[in-house]
């Protein structure tokens, strides 16, 4: 005998089977989508953190690069500044090399740090040589003063004994002339521009070699005089030859420093190029990540539609609600905030108001804003210090347009050109007012177009009051 199963029971069993299947599918689908959501959150947060980190490293290195340039421009004859700035930059190098996760860039930064340390040691030695030069000036001058006193006493002795003092009086005049020559050498040393030696070669003659040789030749007269004047003459000639040696050593060390400075700039350019490439790679990876996310979501939707064909409406609603709540809405908020960030809004914090992984993303972004605001303040302060250096510099500094219009000028240049105010200087056309020969400016621009820089180019300018003077423009 067979048991009769009613249609109602069949429908009930089928309903139960469909319900169990639906529940199982829903459970599996729920856990699958939850895993997808977490993976997407993790991927997006990771990629965005990489972009933020690259941006922060590029900004920090840009500030460090600026400080290095300030150091190379201002270390000369400033040992206190040199030591203090080196200690600061050394700490920044260590911090940045630890902060950068890209091994190649970190190694490049360490190489730049090592080269900068060598540059610092060389700059210390240059300042020591400058101090020795001044000491040699003082020592030779003191010897000449002592010799002048000895000859003066000898004049008194010979005059009292009724002897001829004409030769001794000529010696006094010669010694005064030696002191004037030494003073001229000291002035030329003081007016010397370090950029000239930095861009010279070791084969160039040492500075002031002709003046030294002439002075040594003139002092040969002292070696032929009576004792102890002849001994003083020999000692003075030895001191001048040592002075020549210091100048030659100073020249060679400055040439070496120029090579190190150019190597520093090349290494810094390599780091900037590597950071730019890293930024491009991070941006490409972010785009690829978005494509992976889109593909994952699309595949999940296809699977849901295939498995739940009879329940498509409910499944689509559930999936749409899930994606909209946990993916689309937060991503739209993030995208909107990032667009504002790109537009210059560095103050408004991100407010997703979520308790899941997006909350961590929100905290990272807001911490980044605080860090950026601090660094922007530091950058503004650095710019103010640069502006102070520009304003207080003893050298005349100004920029002109191609047509000759003065764009920017510091007080030293205003005074040099004979103006009373910055507005008066800017109102005049430099190209047509201050060149004695208008062709000189055309020659300078032609040379600049060909070489992209100007070195050892002299031309005659004229001040506002008509007084001419010679100038050597420096355009790096």
Longest CA pairwise span in the chain (Å): 169
Q: Extract the tokens encoding 25.
A: 């599918």
Q: What per-residue confidence (pLDDT) applies to 286?
A: 64
Least confident window among 6-15, 367-376, 418-427, 449-458: 6-15
Q: How confident is the model at residue 4 (pLDDT cuts 50, 70, 90)?
A: very low
Strand partners, 468: 462
Q: What is the 3-state secondary structure (H, E, C) of 17-76?
A: HHHHHHHHHHHHHHHHHHHHHHHHHHHHHHHHHHHHHHHHHHHHHHHHHHHHHHHHHHCC
Highest mean pLDDT pick, 136-140, 302-306, 424-428: 136-140
Residue 199, pLDDT above cutoff 60? yes
CB-CB contact of 158 with 165 (8 Å): yes
Report the candidate in 29, 49, 44 with the shortest Cα–Cα distance to residue 328: 44
Choose between 321 and 410: higher pLDDT: 410
Residue 410, pLDDT above cutoff 80? yes
CB-CB contact of 431 with 400 (8 Å): yes
CB-CB contact of 419 with 464 (8 Å): yes
Residue 18, pLDDT above cutoff 70? no
Residue 3, pLDDT above cutoff 70? no
> In whole angstroms, what separates CA 3 from the centre of its chain?
93
C-alpha span between 82 and 122 (Å, rounded): 11
Q: What per-residue confidence (pLDDT) applies to 10?
A: 47
Report the candidate in 370, 286, 274, 277 with the shortest Cα–Cα distance to residue 49: 286
Choose between 8 and 198: higher pLDDT: 198
Residue 210, pLDDT above cutoff 70? yes
Find the mean pLDDT for residues 266-276.
Answer: 86
Least confident window among 8-22, 144-158, 230-244, 450-464: 8-22
Q: How confident is the model at residue 13 (pLDDT cuts 50, 70, 90)?
A: low
C-alpha span between 197 and 251 (Å, rounded): 7
Residue 64, pLDDT above cutoff 80? yes
Find the mean pLDDT for residues 338-345.
Answer: 74
Highest mean pLDDT pick, 72-81, 244-253, 453-462: 244-253
Q: What per-residue confidence (pLDDT) applies to 2?
A: 36
Choose between 25 and 33: higher pLDDT: 25
Q: How confident is the model at residue 474 (pLDDT cuts 50, 70, 90)?
A: low
Q: How confident is the model at residue 9 (pLDDT cuts 50, 70, 90)?
A: low
Computed over every residue of the chain, the mean pLDDT equals 78
Q: What is the 3-state secondary structure (H, E, C) of the chain?
A: CCCCCCHHHHHHHHHHHHHHHHHHHHHHHHHHHHHHHHHHHHHHHHHHHHHHHHHHHHHHHHHHHHHHHHHHHHCCCCHHHHHHHHHHHHHHHHHHHHHCCCHHHHHHHHHHHHHHHHHHHHHHHHHHHHHHHHHHHHHHHHHHHHHHHHHHHHHHHHHHCCCCCHHHHHHHHHHHHHHHHHHHHHHHHHHCCHHHHHCCCCCCCCCCHHHHHHHHHHHHHHHCCCCCHHHHHHHHHHHHHHHHHHHHHHHHHHHHHHHHHHHHHHHHHHHHHHHHHHHHHHHHHHHHHHHHHHHHHHHHHHHHHHHCCCCHHHHHHHHHHHHHHHHHHHHHHHHHHHHHHHCCCCCCCCCCCCCCHHHHHHHHHHHHHHHHHHHHHHHHHHHHHHHHHHHHCCCCCEEECCCCEEEEECHHHHHHHCCCCHHHHHHCEHHHHCECCHHHHHHHHHHHHHHCCECCCCEEEECCCCCEEEECCCEC
How many C-alpha atoms does 82 have within 13 Å on its Cβ side? 20
Q: What per-residue confidence (pLDDT) applies to 431?
A: 74
CA torsion angle 428 432 436 440 (round to 10): 130
CB-CB contact of 441 with 435 (8 Å): yes
Residue 460, pLDDT above cutoff 70? yes
Residue 331, pLDDT above cutoff 80? no
CB-CB contact of 174 with 233 (8 Å): no
Q: How confident is the model at residue 433 (pLDDT cuts 50, 70, 90)?
A: confident
CA distances from 460 to 194, 407, 417, 441 (A): 22, 21, 12, 10
Residue 405, pLDDT above cutoff 80? yes
Q: Extract the tokens encoding 164.
A: 């001829």
> In whole angstroms, what separates CA 37 from the centre of its chain?
43
Residue 72, pLDDT above cutoff 80? yes
Least confident window among 64-68, 182-186, 389-393: 389-393
Q: What per-residue confidence (pLDDT) applies to 325?
A: 63
CB-CB contact of 471 with 458 (8 Å): yes
Choose between 27 and 268: higher pLDDT: 268
Find the mean pLDDT for residues 357-361.
Answer: 68
Q: What per-residue confidence (pLDDT) applies to 7?
A: 39
Find the mean pLDDT for residues 312-318.
Answer: 58
Q: What per-residue confidence (pLDDT) applies to 225?
A: 79
Q: What per-residue confidence (pLDDT) applies to 36?
A: 62
Q: What per-residue confidence (pLDDT) applies to 41?
A: 64
């Amino acid at each position: 005998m067979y048991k009769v199963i009613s249609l109602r029971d069949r429908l009930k069993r089928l309903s139960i089977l469909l319900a169990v299947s639906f529940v199982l599918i829903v459970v599996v689908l729920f856990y699958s989508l939850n895993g997808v959501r977490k993976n997407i959150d993790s991927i997006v947060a990771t990629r965005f953190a990489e972009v933020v980190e690259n941006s922060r490293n590029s900004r920090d290195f840009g500030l460090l690069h600026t400080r290095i340039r300030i150091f190379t421009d201002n270390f000369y004859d400033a040992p206190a500044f040199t030591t203090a700035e080196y200690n600061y930059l050394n700490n920044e190098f260590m911090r940045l090399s630890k902060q950068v996760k890209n091994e190649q860039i970190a190694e490049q930064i360490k190489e730049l740090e090592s080269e900068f340390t060598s540059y610092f040691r060389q700059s210390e030695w240059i300042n020591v040589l400058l101090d020795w030069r001044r000491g040699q000036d003082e020592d030779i001058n003191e010897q000449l003063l002592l010799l002048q006193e000895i000859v003066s006493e000898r004049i008194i002795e010979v005059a009292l004994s009724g002897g001829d003092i004409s030769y001794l009086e000529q010696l006094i005049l010669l010694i005064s002339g030696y002191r004037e020559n030494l003073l001229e050498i000291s002035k030329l040393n003081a007016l010397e521009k370090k950029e000239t030696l930095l861009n010279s070669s070791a084969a160039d003659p040492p500075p002031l070699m002709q003046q030294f040789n002439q002075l040594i030749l003139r002092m040969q007269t002292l070696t032929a005089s009576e004792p102890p004047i002849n001994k003083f003459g020999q000692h003075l000639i030895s001191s001048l030859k040592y002075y020549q040696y210091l100048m030659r050593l100073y020249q060679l060390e400055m040439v070496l420093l120029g090579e190190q400075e150019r190597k520093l700039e090349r290494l810094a350019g390599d780091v900037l190029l590597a950071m730019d490439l890293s930024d491009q790679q991070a941006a490409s990876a972010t785009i690829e990540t978005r494509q992976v996310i889109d593909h994952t979501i699309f595949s999940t939707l296809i699977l849901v539609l295939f498995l739940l064909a009879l329940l498509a409406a409910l499944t689509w609603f559930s999936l749409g609600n899930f994606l909209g709540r946990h993916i689309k809405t937060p991503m739209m908020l993030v995208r909107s905030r990032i667009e504002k960030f790109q537009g210059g809004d560095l103050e408004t914090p991100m407010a997703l108001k979520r308790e899941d992984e997006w909350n961590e993303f929100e905290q990272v972004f807001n911490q980044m804003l605080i860090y950026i605001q601090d660094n922007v303040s530091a950058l503004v302060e650095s710019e103010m210090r640069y502006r102070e250096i520009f304003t207080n510099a003893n050298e005349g500094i100004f920029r002109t347009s191609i047509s000759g219009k003065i764009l920017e000028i510091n007080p030293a240049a205003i005074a040099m050109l004979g103006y009373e105010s910055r507005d008066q200087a800017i109102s005049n056309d430099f190209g047509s007012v201050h060149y004695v020969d208008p062709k000189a400016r055309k020659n300078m621009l032609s040379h600049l177009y060909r070489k992209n820089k100007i070195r050892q180019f002299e031309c005659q300018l004229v001040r506002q009051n008509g007084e001419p003077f010679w100038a050597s423009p420096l355009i790096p």
